[in-house]
Structure 1
Amino acid sequence: MYVYQLSKAFCLLDTTHSMANHHQYEPENAPKQPEVMVVMVPLTAQGHLNELLHFSRLICAYNIPVHYLSYAVHIRQAKLRVHGWDPAAVPNLHFHECAAPSFPSPPPNPNAPTNFPGHLQPLFDSLSDLREPVTSLLRSLSAAARRIVVVYDSLIASVVQDVESIPNAECYEFISISAFFNFFYFWELMGKPMAVEAEVLEGLPTLEDCLTPEFTEFMTKQLDFGKFRAGYLLNTCKAIEGRYIDLLAKPEILNTDKLWAIGPFHPLTLNKDHNHFKPRHECLEWLDKQAPNSVIYVSFGTTTSLSDEQIKELADGLERSHQKFIWVLRDADRGDIFAGEGETTARKEKLAAETFQGRGMVVADWAPQLEVLAHRSTGGFLTHCGWNSCMESISMGVPMAAWPMHSDQPRNAHLVAKVLGVGLVVRDWERRKEVVGASEVEDVVRRLMDSDEGERMRKRAGELGSAVRQEAAEGGVSCRELDSFVVHISRF
């Protein structure tokens, strides 16, 4: 099958070549690619933008044109922060920059009652303005292709609702978070229609305080527009979540045989030269000088801001642990990340200037997370457990210290620590209102980085990471899932 042959190049995921070079592996006698075009419509938050941009690269490797649509400011953001490849080097990836309406872009509030980034709500509320440009693009492309395939973020379903009026278009819902979280979310919503192992349920965090009421209402409205979907896509794989992928598809839950788990979306093979189009970050140069598995990477993603009190406790705990670390200390993104460009708070400047006796490095802006996790010197990851971060850490074989903040993160932390056994919990969700003390930080960092317990987790994470990479390689489960999706959307 020619699609499988084409995927041979993709599944190697060798980012030392551009995606254009992958096309050289296409057999000379391969049939002409059917006239199928894919349109990606992401939610305008970093993790969501990033996932569908990485997915665009994978689809482009099959010689299928991809059209990635968002507000111009968020396309700029996605391109600026992408890891491991250059979007400009992919000739069949097309960006459609829409003018954003005027929306407030306030800074985050580190002292808000919940850690959910409620300051982004004006941006989310503005997304209804994308409906018209999405529909216009679909109608324009529909005349030039036999089939238009729309991949939309599940949190932006209302924007693609006009697909029903376009005869040769069909929609696939991208679920940006774990199968584990989604299964339990629907399982509880539907009245717990099947038995689940007691040991998995024990300690399963509540959803209380995970979202704001405003975002819950926004999310619920999107559920009303899912009736036109033709299937589901997940950034995960069987090695990590096989049981929950299968449970999610069952008749009692999503009731579908059109669910493709095709992660990881991000590149799996990195080297010093893979980002030749960007200067190498100074933190990678610092990592080069450290011993293997000796550094813990600390980052809370793009939607979390820590209070001054919590920053002090974390800094003290890291220093007292006597472990080497890289700490990305930055506030949550604004709705428009360029609106506050150049701003650096005094607390960041002070910490970034400290040496921590040579043991630590504080990065006060953006850090190349994928490259840090792939580095041989990185032996642990203190993380908020956003799904992108979990997938990146697991695929690179790095165990985690789980410190969930909001959304799906508490249950992702449960999956990482209690189900997969590749992490320790720093912040118990039952104590989410409390500041995590320096002694607790010190204890968990020491256990993860300098104990037999931590070494066992590192071994387990390495084995799981190896299994993930095998599934993404030629003939692996994830590779076959992606082939299957491409075959399905290319059907006559």
Structure 2
Amino acid sequence: MADHHYHHKNHDQNGLKQTEVVVVMVPLPAQGHLNQLLQLSRLISSYDIPVHYVCTSTHIRQAKLRVHGWNPLDIPNIHFHELSTPAFISPPPNPDASIQFPSHLQPLFEALTQLRQPTAAIFRALSSTAKRVIIIHDSMMSSVVQDVTCIPNAESYMFHSVSAFATFFYLWEILGKPFPLDAKIVEDLPSLEGCFTPEFIELIDTQTNYLNFSSGYLFNTCKAIEGVFLDFLAREEITAKSVKQWAIGPFNPVEVSDETQRHKCLEWLDKQAPNSVIFVSFGTSTSLRDEQIKELALGLERSEQKFIWVLRDADKGDVFVGETRRAQLPKGFEERVEGKGMVVRDWAPQLQILGHKSTGGFMSHCGWNSCMESISMGVPIAAWPVHSDQPRNTMLITKLLKVGLVVKDWARRDELVSSSMVETAMKSLMVSKEGDDLRKRVVEMSGAVKRSVQEGGVSRMELDSFVAHITR
């Protein structure tokens, strides 16, 4: 295994340690969620604590296949429990939907209730051999893990898969704005309108009924990035005093090691000048409309900047079955940009691309994994939010942290982003004084983040504190 930046603690291998405390991860089976808890599994297992990662077999296969920067099979302390996948329909995404949220995943999300019994059975089996069972579950899986309350030696910790900023404002609003905040921030806060489908909002509400059994909250962020909002979250008007919180991000490795099997785009990057390439990717839950793909293509071409564009549709509920749409590019586009740009239609090694010295910008939907990876690698963001927490992450990235610029304003979310808007954003990010300033700021922040996960750094101390707490 690549030597990651969390050192192993040595314990006497007298067999006792093994059964003292075990950790069980229960992720929501969607890529951005699967990945974060798999990355956290790597961190916790480095303390000689066995980690049990519980999910449906198809989603475990997906998570292992796509993880970057390390190989989960190299860590004997991570055990995968494959639950049989409940039957659900897995329709293709609809790029023309009025709300861009991946509503095609709703049948999968509704099938998750069937995981409650088999998950509880794993908790019970582990509780009979371990001194303590620690369950770390995605906030969207609260109802699935509710039986933890019946197991005397089990505790559960809720993982918030989004930024402290987005989490805080969501809670602050539903709790009736219990204390005043800087008027400017509140004024500019993007509305949640258009972020979720009504069906998914209902699902979120169902999950909030199960918040009361959590012993603490975990965040994939760090004080160096979101200290102010972590402090707001810790206020007793928002979080009960008995509930602890730990900010132990970034979960992703902050140094990338080169893998033996290198993706072809990395070899192309090797040939480019430092900071000269913009990486364009909208994550795993976004499908752009045909005419939007065309405008984006023309904008990339006209900007005359080097680019790597990951052009994929959103993941289906089951990524291994059925056809996927092959988006049409303008006629002759790939020939015209040859040598300047590269279109990647398969799974791309995002962390490696962001960590490559030739990558100088990231046009992104601002999903939280992508924001954390971009900041850890010191790459400024051209923000193009599409749904969920992305509009609020965009505000955090561009207005508060000032490590990015806005491509698409959320207030004009129903409009097409024209090729000239794309061209302007590309040039601003890659070849302007503004872009250079953003790059300087994000490189500084990346340094702070990298220091925070090293021995004595603030995220590392939070992780040590969490491990000390669960092994007390």
Q: Normalising by the residue count of structure 1, what TM-score does the alignment of the two structures yield?
A: 0.92
Task: Report the counterpart of residue 483 of structure 1 in structure 2.
Answer: 464
Q: How big is each residue's C-alpha offset from its partner over 1:370-427, in whole Å with a ceiling of 9 and x where there is no partner?
A: 0000000000000000000000000111000000000000000000000000000011
Alignment correspondent of 2:28: 43
Q: Letter of the aligned partner of 1:26 in structure 2? A: N
Output aligned runs, 1:54-65, within 5 Å: 54-65=39-50
Residue 10 of structure 2 is aligned to residue 26 of structure 1: yes
* Counterpart amino acid of residue 3 in structure 2: H
Q: Does 1:207 align with 2:192?
A: yes
Assess, with a 3 A threshold, how the Cα gap between structure 1 residues 297 and 30 changes in structure 2: closer, same or farther. farther
The answer for the alignment partner of 2:179 in structure 1 is 194
Q: How far off is 1:31 after superposition?
A: 11
Q: Is contact 1:351–1:362 with CA below 8 Å preserved after alignment?
A: no
Aligned equivalent of 1:402: 383
2:109 is matched with which residue? 124
- Given candidates 313, 329, 333, the residue that maps to 2:315 is 333
Deviations 1:287-337 (A, max 9, x none): 000000000000000000000100000001111111000000000000000
1:163 to 148, 160, 171: 148
Query: Tell me, which stretches of 5 or more residues in structure 1 are unaligned?
Result: 1-14
Candidates 387, 412, 416, aligned match of 2:368: 387
Deviations 1:450-478 (A, max 9, x none): 00110000000000010001011110000
State the secondary structure of the residue aligned to 1:124: helix
Letter in 2 for 1:432: R
d(CA) in 1 for partners of 2:177, 2:445: 30
Structure 1: how far apart are the matches of 2:332 and 2:446? 33
Distance 1:18 1:239, change over 3 A: closer
Provide the rounded CA distance (Å) in 1 between the counterparts of 2:62 and 2:291: 30
- Counterpart selection for 1:95 from 60, 67, 80: 80
Q: Secondary structure at the match of 1:96?
A: strand
* Aligned pair partner of 2:352 in 347, 371, 376: 371
Shift in alpha-carbon separation, 1:235–1:182, aligned structure 2, 3 A: same
Q: Aligned partners of 1:357, 1:176: CA distance in 2, in Å?
A: 38
Deviations 1:253-304 (A, max 9, x none): 12345100000001111132xx33xx21000000000000000000000000
CA distance in 2, matches of 1:75, 1:372: 24
SS of corresponding position for 2:427? helix
Q: What corresponds to 1:149 in structure 2?
A: 134
Tell me how far 1:168 sits from its aligned partner: 0.3
Report the TM-score, using the length of structure 2 for normalisation. Answer: 0.96
Go from structure 1 to structure 2 and tell me whether the alpha carbon gap of 1:127 and 1:391 turns closer, same or farther (over 3 Å shift).
same
Counterpart in the other structure of 1:296: 278
Q: Mapping of 1:77-476 within 5 angstroms? A: 77-256=62-241, 258-272=244-258, 275-276=259-260, 279-340=261-322, 343=324, 345=326, 347=328, 353-476=334-457
State the alpha-carbon separation in 2 of the partners of residues 311 and 346 from structure 1: 8
C-alpha separation in 1, matches of 2:254 and 2:376: 7
CA distance in 2, matches of 1:89, 1:462: 31
Structure 2 Cα separation of the partners of residues 344 and 432 of structure 1: 23
> Would the aligned equivalents of 1:296 and 1:324 in 2 still touch at CA under 8 Å?
yes
What letter matches 1:246 in structure 2? D
Equivalent position amino acid for 1:99 in 2? S
Q: CA RMSD in A?
A: 1.9
* CA offsets 1:145-184 (integer angstroms, 9 cap, x no match): 0000000000010001111111100100000000001111
Aligned pairs, how many?
Answer: 470
Mapped to 2, the partners of 1:394 and 1:346 lie a distance apart of 29
Q: Deviations over 1:9-60 (max 9, x none)?
A: xxxxxx63379x954x637799963710000000010000000000000010
Structure 1 residues 38 and 29 mapped into 2: Cα distance closer, same or farther (>3 Å)?
A: closer
Residue type at the aligned position of 2:272: Q
CA distance in 2, matches of 1:158, 1:363: 38
Counterpart-to-counterpart distance in 1, 2:433 and 2:2? 36
Q: Secondary structure at the match of 2:53?
A: strand
Q: Aligned partners of 1:269 and 1:448: how far apart in 2?
A: 24
The Cα shift of 1:199 comes to 2.8
Deviations 1:121-158 (A, max 9, x none): 00000001111111100110111100000000000100
Counterpart of 2:143 in 1: which secondary structure?
Answer: helix
Task: Check conservation: 2:120, 2:145, Cα contact below 8 A.
Answer: yes
CA contact (8 A) 1:38 1:150 kept: yes
Q: Check the 8 A contact 1:18/1:89 in 2, yes or no.
A: no
Residues in 2 aligned to 1:367 and 1:468: alpha-carbon distance in whole angstroms: 24
| Aligned partners of 1:294 and 1:377 also within 8 Å | yes
Task: Give how far 1:194 is off.
Answer: 1.2
The offset of 1:353, in angstroms, is 4.3
Contact map agreement 2:294 2:329 (CA 8 A) in 1: no
CA distance in 2, matches of 1:18, 1:295: 27
| 8 Å contact kept, 2:277–2:358 | yes
Name stretches of at least 5 consecutive residues in structure 2 with no aligned partner.
Answer: none
| Equivalent residue letter for 1:414 | M
Q: Partners in 2 of 1:234 and 1:202 — Cα distance?
A: 26
Alpha-carbon spacing, 1:26–1:378, altered in 2? closer, same or farther (3 Å): same
Contact map agreement 1:349 1:364 (CA 8 A) in 2: no
Percentage of matched positions with identical amino acids: 60
Contact 2:311 2:327 in 1 (8 A): no
Q: Secondary structure at the match of 2:101?
A: coil
> 1:139 and 1:31 mapped to 2: Cα distance?
21
Q: Which residue of 1 aligns with 2:56?
A: 71
SS in structure 1 opposite 2:307? strand
CA drift of 1:200 comes to 2.1
**Match of 1:261, as an amino acid?**
A
